[in-house]
Structure 1
C-alpha cells in the first residue's frame, strides 16, 4: 500500500477538445488519503474531464497527474490495479446473472472467483447475486458496478454521479455503503451534482468552475471562509416576548411568528448560555435550538458567484 499523504495530486492540468476552448485550465487538485472527497461543479465545469484523466481515458496535453504516489503517464497499468471506478451507469450483460457478470471481470483481471462472494457481501448484493442483470433495479445495478470496482481490493475508488437515478431509499443505502468502505480504509473521490446528498458524507470538498479549482478543503474550512456571520435559530413559545428580552443585547434578530422561531446573530458559542438564561428567566419556553449554518448548496453558490 502506498503511504503517500495524497492519493491524487494534479498540477497545472490543462485540456481542450479539438484545440478549442480550454475545458481544464492549469487545474490544481489534491485528494487526501482516507478522505471522502466531494468534487462538485456546474455542468461543463470540468468534473468529468478531470475524472477521465484520472481513469486514463483521454490523452494528456499539459500538466502532471500522480495517483497513489506515482505518475499516471508512466505507471498507468500498475496504478489501475489499485483504483476502482464507477463512472456513469455500470455496463452489464442483461441475460447473465450478477454472479456471472462478476465472473467475467474476474477472468479478465486474473482474479479468483472466490472474490465474487466477498464483494457481493460488501455491497449487500448477495440476496440478488444470482438474478439476471436485466431484472435489477437501478440501485442493484449501482451495487453491481461498485462490486466490479471492488474486485481488485482498490485503495482508491472514483465515482461519478453514483446516486443519480436512485430513489430516496436507494440513495440512503448507497451513502451507507460509501461510508462503510471509507471506514475500511478506502479513499473515495465522488463527483456529484446532488450537493445536499454529498454533504452528508464528504470529509473534503473541491469546487471547480470553468476548469479551475476555486476551493479545496474541509466543509468547516469552506464555511469559515464563506459564512462570515454566525446565527442561532431558536424555537420559542413567544417570539414577540423573546425578541423584547434579547434586543437590548442582540440588535440583529429575525422573528418568524408562523414558525415560532428566532434567528439571532451571535459572536460565537459563548453567547448561547446567556441567551438561554435570559429567555428562561423571562418566562419564554425554548423548544429547539441549533446553529443556523449554510449548507453545501448555498456555500457552493457563494463560491462560484464571487
Structure 2
C-alpha cells in the first residue's frame, strides 16, 4: 500500500530518551487525527515528516521523497501549522502572507484571499504585533493553506479560535480532504475530532497504541454501549435486573450493555406496555477509546 506519507519502523532518540519508538503507518487522502498525551511523540512525528529532524532508525517518505534529504522539493506541496505560531510583529497580516507565498512560489493574489477565509480580511492591514492570540492562530492557518497543499500537518490547530471559526476551520479541512489531500490533525480536543477524522492514531510514550477508524477502534476495544432513557412506567422494572442501571440527576435512567446486546435491550424497552418517552444510544466516544487503549499500558522503564 502506498500513500502520501509512509513511516516504517521509525525511531527518534534524544540522548537516552526515545521520543518515538518503532512507529509504522501509511497516510492516504483524508483527515487523520493524531492523539496522545504531552510527550507521546506527536510533534516529533510531524517534525520528522517535515524533515526538521532525522530519524535514528527506520524510514520516512513524504510525497515520494525523504524529507531529511538535502533537497526536499516536496516541501512546497506541504502545509504546516505549529502549535505555537510566531510572526514578525512589525509586518501586517497581508505582508506576512505575501512573504510566505513568495517562499512557496505560490500566487500571491490567491494566497491573500485566504485572509478573508480565516476572518482576517478587515485586519489584514494591521500590524501582527497588535493581533490577539486567536488572530495570530488564524494567520498561521492561512499560512499553512498557501498553495493548496497535498499534505497538511496541523499541530493543535484550533487553539485560540472561537466556536464559529472552529466550524469554519473544519469546513476547510473537509474541503481539502475531499479534494484528495492528506490532513494530519494533532489535538487534545478529542470531542472535536470524533466526527471529523477518517482515521485515528493513538500515541503513547512514543509508541503507536492503536490505529484505525472510530468504528474499527470500537470493535477492538469492545467497550459497552450506554442506553439512556426517560422511562415509561415499566422501563424501571425492565432495567432493574441490569447491574449497571443507574438514575441520572436529570431523572433519566442509564444502563451499560455489551454492543451485541443493545438491540435486544432496545426491543424489550420499546415493546413494553408503557414504552420510554425518549431513548438515546451512546456509543463509546473517542475520549472513552483513548482512555481504554492507554489504561493497560505497561509501566515506564
Category of TM-score, reference length = shorter chain: 0.7 to 0.9
Aligned residue number for residue 20 of structure 1: 16
Q: Please tell me whether the aligned partners of residues 111 and 147 of structure 2 are also in contact (alpha carbons under 8 angstroms).
A: no
Relative to the length of structure 2, the TM-score reads 0.86
Q: Give 1:254's aligned residue.
A: 245
Q: What is the distance in 2 between the residues matched to 1:85 and 1:177?
A: 14
Distance (Å, rounded) in 2 between the aligned partners of 1:86 and 1:268: 44
2:204 corresponds to which of 203, 209, 227: 209
User: Where does residue 277 of structure 1 map in the other structure?
Assistant: 270
The CA deviation string for residues 89-141 of structure 1, in whole angstroms up to 9 with x for no partner, is 32222232211111112233333321233333443433332232223232322
Contact 2:134 2:159 in 1 (8 A): no
SS at match of 1:70: coil
8 Å contact 1:94–1:132 — kept in the other structure?
A: yes
Name the residue aligned to 1:196.
191
**Gaps (5+ residues) in structure 2?**
297-301
Listed as ranges, the matches of 1:214-253 within 5 Å are: 214-238=209-233, 241-245=234-238, 251-252=242-243
Report the Cα distance in structure 2 between the residues aligned to 1:208 and 1:136, rounded to whole angstroms.
34
Q: Distance in 2 between matches of 1:24 and 1:285?
A: 50
Pairwise CA RMSD: 2.5
Equivalence for 1:161: 156
Conserved 8 A contact 1:139-1:170: no
Going from structure 1 to structure 2, the CA distance change for 1:261 and 1:61 (only over 3 Å counts) comes to same
CA distance in 1, matches of 2:246, 2:107: 64
Distance 1:207 1:257, change over 3 A: closer
Q: Kindly report which structure 2 residues correspond to 1:117-136, keeping only aligned pairs within 5 A, or say none.
A: 117-136=112-131
SS in 2 for 1:216: strand
CA distance in 2, matches of 1:93, 1:256: 56
Q: Output the TM-score relative to the length of structure 1.
A: 0.85
Q: Which runs of 5+ in 1 are unaligned?
A: none
Paired residue total: 294
Distance 1:277 1:47 in 2: 45
Is the alpha carbon distance of 1:145 and 1:82 closer, same or farther for their aligned partners in structure 2, counting shifts above 3 Å? same
What SS is found at the alignment partner of 2:72? helix
Matches within 5 A, 1:36-55: 36-55=31-50
Instruction: Please point out which of 71, 76, 97 is paired with 2:66.
Output: 71
Cα displacement (A) at 1:291: 1.6
Conserved? CA contact 1:6–1:32, under 8 Å: yes
Q: Aligned match of 2:101 in 99, 106, 111?
A: 106
Map of 2:140 onto structure 1: 145
